Structure 1
Amino acid sequence: MTTRTIGCDTADGLSRAVRRIARDHALDPGVRGRLVLSVAAVAEPALSAAGHTSLSWTFQCEDEDRSGLLTLALGLDAPVALPSAETAAGLPLPADAVTEREVVWRLPAAPAPDAPADGPAPDDAALVTEELRAVVARADALTAEHRRLKDELAETNSGVLALYVQLDERDAQLRKAHGQTLRELEDALRPAPLEVDGLELAVHYAPAGTDAPTGGDLYDWFVLPDGTVHITVVDALGHGVTSTRGALNVTHAVRTLALEGHHLQSIVARTDEILLPFDRSVMATVLLARIDPATGELWVANGSHPPALLTRGDGTARYLEARGRGIGFPMPGSDRLLTEKMAPGDLLLLYTDGLTESRRDPVEGEKRLIEAAYEHLHAPIEEIPGAIADDMHTVILHPDDTLALAVRVRS
């Protein structure tokens, strides 16, 4: 491992030197272009002040195929302040370290050839063109991916969603007059009943008011190719048709990711990435559950949503606390994947906050929910969600859309 150092007196000379070093070590043209821009940006104050910088580089071979690590250090001898760690991290290619006298980049690379290759070496203009082509190709790939996702979401949300947006723009009197029609459309948004050997499933939904029978509380359930059952519960911010649109976007994106085989814990964060370019206003809490009917294995991921309640066949109960942040929140995603084992007779309850916060005290609501789940633990599954909602809403100080979904392992 040998360290080489050269002095550079001009920005053009420094850029050419960095470009040739990166080329000799087979860096990707896109990475090479970012490295040249970053080194030039850091060196500019020193070149302006003293007209000189130093450039050092070292290659360390790490494995048998001779790939390794290229360390490139820009020394700033001029009396100028070095960039802060935060500034260095914001460069086109973030620096890996800022010491007292230099800024350092470390990059996976190949060793430089011992001798020049046959034929003339590419001139600087050819290398710049190659870097620009790499940037354009990357931009084209991102544009194509965004267009594909946009087309998929547009196709999924056509029809009923377009009608919902139109209805939302009408006044409250018209929405109330067509309340029955809206209820039928709301039912059309729900997935078909799910019949799965080994499991019993049922759901209850009630809007906050009769003039807006749809809202941001939605659910989705389906069987994955491996036989496990996936369940999504979404609570989008707001009420009425506008929040329905956001909740639909979330459930459709989650379904797509789940069917593509993405890991359950990653789906909340990935959904936020997909929706951000198309709907920056959507904010939604999300609860994801995956159940294996054959074994009773249960996996739960959470994005700011109220925790699922698991009531055992013997009457004991506890909330499954899997913390995370929802769609549209800062740093969205589930912090961990919670796992449990459900036994015959166990009841899993997934719900939205309208179930537990009707009296404006969520802690008190969670205590009452445990009592209600125990009270109806052995009732027919199709009666359980509605019966629990009735018990929880004997007093309503804070009306809200309410969804309750029950899953029980067959005895």
Structure 2
Amino acid sequence: MTPSATALLATLPDVRRAVRRLARLHGLPAEQRARLTLSVALVARRETEAGRGVRLTAEVGPHREAGPGVLTVTLDAGLARERAVPVRLPLSAETVADGRTVWRLPLTADPDRPAVVDGADGEGDEEAAEEELRAVLDRADSLAADHRRLTHELDETNSGVLALYVELEERDEQLRSAHGRILRELEDALRPPPLTVPGLELAVHYAPADTHAPTGGDLYDWFTLPDGTVHITVVDALGHGVRSTRDALNVTHAVRTLALEGHPPATLVERAGEIVSGVDAETMATVLLARLDPATGHLSLANGSHPPALLVRRDGTTEYLEVRGRGVGFPLPGSEGTLTVGLAPGDLVLLYTDGLTESRRDPVEGEARLVTAAVEHRERPIEEVPGAVADAMHTVVLHPDDTLALAMRLPLKGG
């Protein structure tokens, strides 16, 4: 290690000149020179402004790795009393045990060149300061240019990512729509064709809980029996999606087969439960059955855990047609009997699933609102009645669910 060079410096300008000359003698780059000069001045400022000098020592020693060596600059600025170095120095330093501040800088110049500190010689100091300032400004300009370039690249990247995100969202929406459309077509194919019966008006409305997944467990079936009576089945299978559609379809097929074999409504729920449990023991579904003779207006109802039908007379009086029973998959499934009522021309009957009355999570309140909606819309064309009632019921939806509403009405004479 070369002998150390030491200088006692009284003023801050002396400190700056000494550090700058020292840095130039050892070939430090201009920017590193500027950082070292400013760092040493910041540490020395308190002592010099108080009229107390500081001691600056420099020595060059070999580096542990290959290279010319290391320049060690030590400043004794009276910090031993406080053991503190100003924070955020432009060039990092360390404080040794006695309070001195030390900077260690790898050298690129010849380490054998003399390292002499002469605070009295200011020759070339102004030019050196200008060189350092240019280096710092060049560095700042370079960083600003890099920042602008990176900001531009980031903006372009963000724009690209946003465009890609929008494109993916559009494609996802297209796929969901296509998926929903295919499922809707399949579900529509499972529903019975429109039924035209002299002396009877029929219409149905169905809406899935999710428009992109229109399959569900709400299903209906209607057909004319050999004796001229009309049979209607409304089923609500547990759950949503394709599985619940399959379960509902199994129930409606079982009921249709039994009804066409001549089984009366009172036994259909129980017998259908036996058949379906043999196919899938996990199927659970509520069932409402209606058997109407359009010629006489006699309506018979059987029920398996399903919401009751609503009768709206022509004069606006209403009645829920309650029949007790347990659905398919429930313990001891079957209707506890049948309820028979007589319909007159203009009378309307609504069959529905619980998605119509429980959209606000309160079935009692829903049944009260259903009465109001049905009375209000009872005289509309039959094809409009189910949808109008559903719209009135779903002004607020807190509990989305598949919804089925089926309306039948005896037409007025001459209507």
TM-score in terms of structure 1 length: 0.58
| 2:380 counterpart SS class | coil
**Is 1:376–2:367 an aligned residue pair?**
no
Structure 1 contact 172–211 (Cα < 8 Å) conserved: no
**Is 1:354–2:352 an aligned residue pair?**
no
| 2:340 counterpart SS class | strand
What is aligned with 2:400?
399
What is aligned with 1:390?
391
What is aligned with 2:410?
409
Percent sequence identity over matched residues?
75
| 1:197 counterpart SS class | coil
What is aligned with 1:303?
304
Spell out, residue by residue over 1:183-213, the C-alpha distance to the aligned partner (whole angstroms, 9 max, x if none).
1111111111111111000000000002210
Shift of residue 336, structure 1, vs aligned partner:
1.1
What is aligned with 2:188?
187
What is aligned with 1:248?
249
Shift of residue 177, structure 1, vs aligned partner:
4.1
What is aligned with 2:366?
365
Q: Distance in 2 between matches of 1:177 and 1:406?
A: 30
Code of the residue aligned with 1:298 in structure 2: it is L
Q: Please show how residues 285-364 of structure 1 align to structure 2 within 5 Å.
A: 285-364=286-365
Aligned length: 241
| 1:218 counterpart SS class | strand
Spell out, residue by residue over 1:222-278, the C-alpha distance to the aligned partner (whole angstroms, 9 max, x if none).
000000000000000000111000000000000000000001100000001111121
Structure 2 contact 179–213 (Cα < 8 Å) conserved: no
Q: Distance in 1 between matches of 2:176 and 2:267?
A: 38
Q: Distance in 2 between matches of 1:236 and 1:176?
A: 25
Shift of residue 178, structure 1, vs aligned partner:
1.5
Spell out, residue by residue over 1:33-73, the C-alpha distance to the aligned partner (whole angstroms, 9 max, x if none).
xxxxxxxxxxxxxxxxxxxxxxxxxxxxxxxxxxxxxxxxx
Shift of residue 355, structure 1, vs aligned partner:
0.1
Code of the residue aligned with 1:344 in structure 2: it is P
What is aligned with 1:103?
none
Q: Please show how residues 60-79 of structure 1 align to structure 2 within 5 Å.
A: none
Structure 2 contact 233–252 (Cα < 8 Å) conserved: yes
Q: Please show how residues 160-239 of structure 1 align to structure 2 within 5 Å.
A: 177-239=178-240
Q: Please show how residues 120-199 of structure 1 align to structure 2 within 5 Å.
A: 177-199=178-200
Code of the residue aligned with 1:307 in structure 2: it is P
Q: Which has the larger radius of gyration?
A: 2
Q: Distance in 2 between matches of 1:220 and 1:277?
A: 21
Unaligned runs of 5+ in 2: 1-171
Spell out, residue by residue over 1:304-357, the C-alpha distance to the aligned partner (whole angstroms, 9 max, x if none).
000000000000001000010000000100001000000000000000000000
Q: Distance in 2 between matches of 1:389 and 1:397?
A: 15
Q: Distance in 1 between matches of 2:262 and 2:316?
A: 35
Q: Distance in 2 between matches of 1:231 and 1:175?
A: 33
Q: Distance in 1 between matches of 2:174 and 2:229?
A: 45
RMSD: 1.5
Spell out, residue by residue over 1:129-163, the C-alpha distance to the aligned partner (whole angstroms, 9 max, x if none).
xxxxxxxxxxxxxxxxxxxxxxxxxxxxxxxxxxx
Structure 1 contact 212–241 (Cα < 8 Å) conserved: no
Q: Distance in 2 between matches of 1:380 and 1:173?
A: 35
Q: Distance in 1 between matches of 2:381 and 2:284?
A: 35
Q: Distance in 1 between matches of 2:276 and 2:188?
A: 24
Unaligned runs of 5+ in 1: 1-170
| 1:204 counterpart SS class | strand
Structure 2 contact 313–348 (Cα < 8 Å) conserved: yes
